[in-house]
Amino acid sequence: MNFGGRTDLRTSTRIIHLALDAGVTLVDTADVYSHDPADFSTGRGRSEEIVGRALRGRRDRRAERELLPMARTYGLAVLPWSPTAGGFLTGGYRRGEAPPPGSRFAEFWDGETARRHLAEPAFTVAETVATIAAARGATPAQIAVAWCLRQPGVTAPIVGPRTVEQLTDVLGALDVDLGPEELAALDAAAPPGRATVPYYGYDGMAWVPWGPHEHRW
C-alpha cells in the first residue's frame, strides 16, 4: 500500500473502510511505502499510522483465538502478492509501446529493467487476459485477480490499490467465475510452474513437474 506516500490520508482511509465493508480482513504495508520520493529516510512508518487510525474501532481479533494458530500450525494461509503483476495485467501496456506515463514500469524502473520484464511472453499473457476480459465485459484486472482466487490453496491475493476506483475495480473479481476454457487459455499463455519473465531472476525450477504431491491427503 502507498498510504501516506502517493495516496493521501483521506483517500487512504476511504480505501481501507471500503475494503473492510467488502469483507477484506488483511491490509499489507511496509515502512518504505510512505517515504518521501525525494528522501527515502523520511516518512517511514506513516503508512502504518494511517492504517491504525482507519481501523480504530473496527478491529476484530477473535481470529487470534483459534483460526490464526491453526493456520500457522498447518501452513494453510497462502497470500499471493501482486496478482496484476505490478499493474502490467490491467490493460494499460501495449506490445511495442513505451510504458504508460506514471505507471510502475515507467516511473520506478530504468529502461533496461523495463525491457527485460516487458518481454514478448509477458505481453502474450496480458493480451490473453484482455481478450477474456473483453468477452466477459469485465476488466483485465478483474480477470487477473479472479484467476489468482481460483487457484487451489490460495487464501486471498494481496492487492495494492492507489485509488478508490482501483479498489472498486479489483473487488469486481469476486463476481468473476472463470470457466475451464478460460483457465486453459491462461495456462497456455503462462504455463504452470514456470516464470513468464525473470521477475526475481533465473527460473531455475522450471524443470520441476509442478502439481499435487502424490501422497497429499
Which three cell numbers, joined as nine digits, stand for 98?
513505451
Q: Are 62 and 86 within one domain?
A: no
Which pLDDT score is estimated for 99? Answer: 79
- Pair (95, 189) in one structural domain: yes
Structural domain count, the chain:
2
Separation CA 112–CA 109 (nearest Å): 8
Q: Quick one: 170 and 129 in the same domain?
A: yes
Q: What is the mean pLDDT of residues 113-127?
A: 79
Is this structure's pTM higher than 0.85? no
**Residue 152, in any domain of the structure:** yes
Range of the domain at 155: 78-202
Residue 98 sits in a domain whose CATH number is 3.20.20.100
Over the stretch 49-65, which tens digit does the pLDDT of each residue have?
A: 788 777 765 555 444 45
Whether pLDDT at 130 is above 60: yes
How many CA atoms does the CB half-sphere of 54 hold within 13 Å? Answer: 24
Domain annotation covers residue 208: no
Amino acid 58: pLDDT: 56
Task: Tell me the H-state helices in 23-119.
Answer: 46-55, 67-74, 104-108, 111-117
Residue 213 pLDDT > 50: no
Residues 21 and 94 in one domain: no
Domain boundary among 36, 67, 98: 67
DSSP bridge partners of 81: 158
